[in-house]
Structure 1
Amino acid sequence: MILVSGCTGSLGDTRTNDSTDDPTTGNPTTGNPTTVDPRACEDGTVRPGRAPLRRLTRFEYNNTVRDLFGDTTDPAFSLPSEDVGNGFGNDADTLSVSSLLAEQLSTVAEGVAQRATATPDALARLAPCASNVSPEGEEACARTIVERIAPLAYRRPLAAGEADELLALYSVGRTDASFDVGIATVIEALLQSPDFLYRVEWGTSDPEHPELRRPTGDEMATRLSYLFWGTTPDEELRMAAQAGELSTKEGVRAQAERMLEDPRARKTIRFFFDNLLPISNLADLERNAEAFPTFSRQIGALMREETQRFLEHEIFEGTGTWASVLTAPYSFMNGPLAAFYGVSGVTGDEFQQVQLDTTQRLGLLTQAGLMAGTTHSNNTNPVVRGSFVLQKLMCQKIPLPMGDILERVKPPDPYSGATARERYSQHSQDEVCRTCHQYLDPVGFTFENYDAVGLFRTTENDVTIDASGSLPGTPGTVSNATELVQKLAESEEVHDCFATRWAEYGYGLTLRGEDTCTKQAITTAFKASGYNVKQLLIELTQTDAFHYISVASQE
């Protein structure tokens, strides 16, 4: 692992997590008092790592109110974006609630409640009795609604007295108003309750490990549902929890396998890659129309869809390994996108599988969307592209520049050289800058055959492009990007990083020293599976971190 101080420039949004890894070996530093010696992970001791309190993200909130109330308006997108944290917006350590956010959550809850009670059909979704309730039957119907939706919102059975408290709120809302207003008052309260906004875990004692706790059946169901679907548990999962089927790794695995085959899992995988890869904003990408006349925002949106269709197909219908994703000889295009690429024989709006010219493109990283997404102007920047590979795909920590160094590493003038290699070679002659650029630039230069919108080229300003480079920690050089991605596909570091990214997303945290055994268990299982992506997601549910709760993490 590479870790160099304050030297890199123009990295864009490639920030990485706050790792405690040793800069030379990639192993956790011994200076952290909570760090676990990796050798100790093999002694049979249960080490669950951290289990911080997790707040629902905007993605999870939207999915949850959709499944609870049929609300498809994505209301949480009006809330502020989450902090970057672990890169996915669900890092529990960064999900604090400011007074402003609390106020906005109240506004969002009010809107959801109004839509959930606005019509007889909406009320009937809450309970059949609510669609045409008589005055004398209102209180009984209100109780029916409370006893049905409150456990779903809290993701657990109601405790004694909770239903009565909610019915009291209904009575307050119903005063001088209508039945639907009283029910809306209850829903507003539910959506602002910590039991809804947070995935609260009290756990249950474990006689074999008195220093630890096990998630209850409902808590385990919640862990599974938000890992695979980003939403509240479905009926089958709740029934499995009540039957005690989620108290064993085998029972959890069975549900995980079922859930992964459900279409809802594909939406979660899309969300993961939208955050791992620089593709989520392609529809808003702007380029100089004179320099790039065939590019438009519509093409940007199609690029994003190309990547997601390709990933979904390769993971669920293809070979399914991370190596095959990186080196697949095909992609997906529709007519307009194929025309942009210059690929013939594809017409219409439907996406279809297209074989690639593998001398020019190979796998995920050479898709136009990845190349355009790692370019922040009308000129390519090998530093940004190299940073994306090293930080996002190899988990190598390269801190952003600060202070005086920031002024020294601005992108070079686009007229200071005919090619990016000429411009950035001059830019990195500074000895301070070289400490980072000796790693970043050789990776970024290999992608110079792709312009600022991802189209393949062999020259820049009528000068033949030299796309040779190298990968840190790997002997030898490569001639171009297709050779680089093959090296990446063979790198154990790349596979370990991908598994780590999924663990951080799936567990909603940034892995630290005390999570060493969790990381080791996941990367080992991923390797044993042949680096199969679907199997990796299943293995996330089989770790000590998924089946136990450290008492210390609740303090």
Structure 2
Amino acid sequence: MSRPSHHDQALPLRGARSAILAALLLASGCIGNLGDSSGAEPGDKPGAEPGVEDPTPGAPLACKDGVVYPGRAPLRRLTRVEYNNTVRDLLGDTTDPAFSLPSEDVGNGFGNDADTLSVSSLLAEQLGTVAEGVAQRATATPEALAKLAPCARNVAAADEAACARTIIESLAPVAYRRPLAGGEAEELLALYSVGRTDATFATGVATMIEALLQSPDFLYRIEWGTPDPERPQLRRPTGDEMATRLSYLLWGTMPDEELRMAAQAGELSTKEGVRKHAERMLDDDRSRPTIRFFFDNLLPISSLADLERNAEAFPTFSRTIGSLMREETQRFLEHEIFEGTGSWASILTAPYTFMNERLAAFYGVSGVKGDEFQKVELDTTQRLGLLTQAGVMAGTTHSNNTNPVVRGSFVLQKLMCIPIPLPTGDILEKVKPPDPYSGATARDRFSQHSKDKACAGCHQFMDPVGFAFENYDAVGLYRTTENDVVIDPSGTVPGTLGDVSGPIELVQKLAASEEVQHCFAKRWSEFAYGLTLRKEDQCTEQAVTTAFEASGYNVKQLLIDLTQTDAFHYLASGQE
């Protein structure tokens, strides 16, 4: 299939809304199917190589050295965060306009799962409203216009069309993340002219920008690729497409000037060239929001600022403390990844954290002064690493009483990649939190789970993990008793990890577990590639895991290795 025509844009903007909406829906459906780059022909089964059958359906794929495994690359729409970052860098708009749109479906856990990022007719209309607001702000004053092009500040009537073209030729290639195709500049200029009729120069420019921001070429990361001379059944992303892959993975926004120039110079045509730029980008502070975003979604910390607890039971807790908890976790992670040992194991077992004076007072830690966060050594008999931070413990508690089910489920599903099926039928009818007065401790209150055969099937795995965190109350403060009864924090982890005496031994065993390390690599792969990994992605997953092991499970190196897989460097022949 050839690249679609853009001639439907050469319409009055209000009248073109239906055409734009249709283009968005078409992109979401038709092009999305083309982007599923398994490379299989009709009737082929998912396998290691395009056109090669999987001889043992249901069994792990046999990944062979020297064979390219492009994986899947479905069409990806910009998420709300990516949209906000892109219009910020494109037009200087810092209002986060896309947060007025509905939240993405969780999908792979990060809100960027291509399989769930479809566009309904309602969302297309909402995107039009957002684009209109961005365009108006970008052209609201002479100073704003001048940021688009110096000629736009006080443009004479005779020079308006030329100035509009200047804006188009500088803005549109950056917005589309590729050079303009033949005729595209003229189509955008025609839209400017429609908006300019019976109005002002600024209105004409706003009309053009509004259409630009509703184009599938802006809203979607469209990849057409170029044939690989050595493997004609496969295609590689073009230089501009590779720059886009890199930039949205590591910075969550469009490529910067240096990356665009590298694409045009052919520097992104090899894995070595991509690695060089990935290393540069990770050394840039613009990579840190991506780290924060990933962990905000992996961990239960994103809503800590909205957490509410009973003031009588927890007098030292407030929403401000909740916000500081989240900041603690984010600062700790950034420091350990970029300045510390940087391994997932060291993150899980680090003997320090970051606090300011107010948060330290909440923890009961003395000697910390001022509003600035500073490194604080932990009492490692009580806390060790990421999981014992108050924010993680409070975030896995949904009421004034701790819930070992929620905490255990978090560890199993998020950190060990062990799926827990949701209860259905008769079991669902039995699911309800225990009476808070049914026992002095959480272990007492949740004991019914082990007695009821219908519940024990799942809870025999979740509850014993959660019991190991019972030394932390509903706001994450350390305790040894509950209702004047001594807490038993012993627990059990499924598989080979076995019994633990409490939270410290639990996090130490998790940190030493290959299963936990491999799950972490899988979570990053799903985030990086915008997918929920399936069988046909097994060779990609295996390549990432192998590289992660070789690096000593280093997180920063993992991000670089994610740019070195076949899935990152190849498309399949179905997308052409």
**SS across alignment from 1:362:** coil
How do residues 109-508 of structure 1 correspond to structure 2 at under 5 angstroms? 109-508=131-530
**Structure 1 Cα separation of the partners of residues 199 and 421 of structure 2:** 57
1:538 aligns with 560
**Structure 2 Cα separation of the partners of residues 410 and 362 of structure 1:** 32
- Provide, for residues 11-40 of structure 1, a one-character-per-residue CA deviation record: whole Å limited to 9, x for no partner: xxxxxxxxxxxxxxxxx9xx9999696562
**SS across alignment from 1:470:** strand
Q: Residues 147 and 33 of structure 1: is their aligned pair in 2 closer, same or farther, counting only changes over 3 Å?
A: farther
**Structure 2 Cα separation of the partners of residues 94 and 377 of structure 1:** 31
**Structure 1 Cα separation of the partners of residues 497 and 514 of structure 2:** 14
**SS across alignment from 1:383:** helix
**Structure 1 Cα separation of the partners of residues 55 and 202 of structure 2:** 55
2:44 aligns with none
Paired letter, 2:86: T
Q: Residues 37 and 403 of structure 1: is their aligned pair in 2 closer, same or farther, counting only changes over 3 Å?
A: closer
| Structure 1 residue 404: Cα displacement | 2.0
Aligned with residue 90 of structure 1, among 112, 118, 131? 112
Greater mean alpha carbon deviation, residues 400-409 or residues 493-502: 400-409
Contact 2:54-2:61 at 8 Å conserved across structures: no
2:31 aligns with none
Contact 1:315-1:534 at 8 Å conserved across structures: yes
Q: Percent identity?
A: 82
2:534 aligns with 512
**Structure 1 Cα separation of the partners of residues 497 and 90 of structure 2:** 54
- Provide, for residues 399-447 of structure 1, a one-character-per-residue CA deviation record: whole Å limited to 9, x for no partner: 1112321121211111111100011112331111111111101100000
| Structure 1 residue 551: Cα displacement | 2.6
Q: What is the CA RMSD across the aligned residues, in angstroms?
A: 1.5
Contact 1:226-1:232 at 8 Å conserved across structures: yes
Does residue 58 (structure 1) correspond to residue 80 (structure 2)? The answer is yes
Contact 1:488-1:494 at 8 Å conserved across structures: yes
Q: Which runs of 5+ in 1 are unaligned?
A: 1-27
- Provide, for residues 71-98 of structure 1, a one-character-per-residue CA deviation record: whole Å limited to 9, x for no partner: 0000000000000100000000000111
- Structure with bigger RCO (C-alpha 8 Å, 6+ apart): 1
**Structure 1 Cα separation of the partners of residues 61 and 196 of structure 2:** 62
- Provide, for residues 183-230 of structure 1, a one-character-per-residue CA deviation record: whole Å limited to 9, x for no partner: 000110010000000000000011211111100000000000000000
**Structure 1 Cα separation of the partners of residues 438 and 60 of structure 2:** 49
| Structure 1 residue 44: Cα displacement | 1.8
**Structure 1 Cα separation of the partners of residues 564 and 436 of structure 2:** 51
Runs in 1 of length 4+ with deviation above 3 angstroms? 31-39
Greater mean alpha carbon deviation, residues 407-416 or residues 50-59: 407-416
Contact 1:34-1:513 at 8 Å conserved across structures: no
Q: Residues 38 and 46 of structure 1: is their aligned pair in 2 closer, same or farther, counting only changes over 3 Å?
A: farther
Q: Which runs of 5+ in 2 are unaligned?
A: 1-46, 48-52
**Structure 2 Cα separation of the partners of residues 159 and 475 of structure 1:** 57
Contact 1:326-1:489 at 8 Å conserved across structures: yes
Contact 1:34-1:514 at 8 Å conserved across structures: no
Contact 1:36-1:515 at 8 Å conserved across structures: no
- Provide, for residues 471-494 of structure 1, a one-character-per-residue CA deviation record: whole Å limited to 9, x for no partner: 111244111111100000000011
Paired letter, 2:125: E
Task: Give the number of aligned pairs.
Answer: 525
How do residues 73-88 of structure 1 correspond to structure 2 at under 5 angstroms? 73-88=95-110
**Structure 2 Cα separation of the partners of residues 119 and 499 of structure 1:** 48
**Structure 1 Cα separation of the partners of residues 107 and 282 of structure 2:** 26
